[in-house]
Amino acid sequence: MTITADYNESMLTTSTPRLKVILEDGTSVSEIMNWASGNDNRSSFDFQMRPGNGIAEVKLDDALDLAGNEVIPNPTEGGQFELDNIPPSAFISYQDGSGGPYPGPYRQGGDNVTMIVDFSEEMEVSPTLNLMGATAINDLPLTLDQTNPKRYRHTLSVPAGDGLVQVSLHGADPAGNQVQTVPTSGDNFTLDNTAPSGSLTFSSLGAQDGYTNTTNVNIQFTAQDAFGIAAYLTQLDNASAPEISDFVDTISPTSIILSEGDGSKSIYGWAMDSTGNIGGPFTDNITLDTQPPVLAILDGPR
């Protein structure tokens, strides 16, 4: 960084002006300034930036005017500059569409997730995000929050994929320090786009498998998912794909009432995981027969 001193009158160029920089921690450096070629009222020095953070004060020494008066140490302007050698950091939090906490996992087709990035200081240009792992997306733009100059956000349409996604940051502060790429928290999230697996069977006691003489029959409905089963749904003779709002049973049902009328009955079941993925239909068939057999003797003793 070049520090230039402009004097308000001609100076004695045989004098040796000195620049003194006092750092915030009390340490200081004193360097000889050079007179500008062909100019008796300007001197400069190429200052090598020092480690540290904070305000540095600048003072002048030993410069004399033509009458031998020494320069006033404190400049009329430009007597301070900010020293910044510490890279910014950031942490990420995740929100749903209503602004509430949204820890994940996330699924494609579900709610978008807003990534809130809080930096430790203001940034020079709009920073960006990179995603890697279960999905790979580079240079996602961050938009400055209008109420907080250190906060940025990005609304992510949840991509396909399953598993952990690592988040990295890119950008710089006004001093040119690059942000720490790994956030101090919120540096990853999980994608879950896998539907639950399961099975559904009728279980009618006292009758041959596949038959029942009562409309109230037992069922065995099991489902598995890495993130847990949140709800179940069973429908009789209806294979229409359900919506999330159709699920009401949080515990696997153990029985079902068949529709009236003898004949074949079909049951369909779906399981929904905690992310909102729906698995199914799992299905089985049973025949309702409420009519007792009729015995007819066609031949016998005479």
Q: Which CATH class is domain 2-84?
A: mainly beta
φ, ψ of residue 48 to 5 degrees: the values are -85, 115
> What residues have CB less than 8 Å from 236, skipping those under 6 apart?
256, 258, 259, 265, 266, 267, 268
Highest mean pLDDT: which of 10-24, 148-162, 282-296? Answer: 148-162
The full DSSP string for 50-99 is: PS-EEEEEEEEES-BBTT-PBPPSS-SS--EEEEE-SPP-EEEEEE-TTS
Question: pLDDT-based confidence at 206, cuts 50/70/90?
Answer: low
Q: What is the mean pLDDT of residues 174-195?
A: 96
In this model, does residue 45 exceed pLDDT 70? yes
Q: Are the CB atoms for 153 and 115 separated by under 8 Å?
A: yes
pLDDT digits (tens, 9 = 90+) for 242-255: 999 999 999 999 99
| Average pLDDT over every residue of 68-90 | 91
Instruction: Determine the average pLDDT of the residues in 190-205.
Output: 92
A 10 A CB-CB count for 223 gives 23
Q: Is a pLDDT exceeding 70 seen at residue 207?
A: no
Domain with CATH 2.60.40.1220 in the chain: 2-84
Domain 90-191 classification at class level: mainly beta
Contact in structure between 198 and 282 (CB atoms under 8 Å) = yes
> What percentage of the chain carries pLDDT values higher than 90?
74
pTM of the entire predicted model: 0.76
Task: Count Cβ atoms within 10 A of the Cβ of residue 256 and give its class: 0-12 exposed, 13-18 middle, 19 or more buried.
Answer: buried
pLDDT tens digits for range 109-167: 988 999 999 999 999 988 999 999 999 999 999 999 999 999 999 999 999 999 999 99
Query: If pLDDT is split at 50, 70 and 90, which confidence band does 28 have?
Result: confident
Calculate the average pLDDT of the chain. 92
Residue range(s) of every CATH 2.60.40.10 domain in the chain: 197-288
CATH code reported for the domain at 197-288: 2.60.40.10
What lies within 8 Å, CB to CB, of 4 at 6+ separation is 42, 43, 44
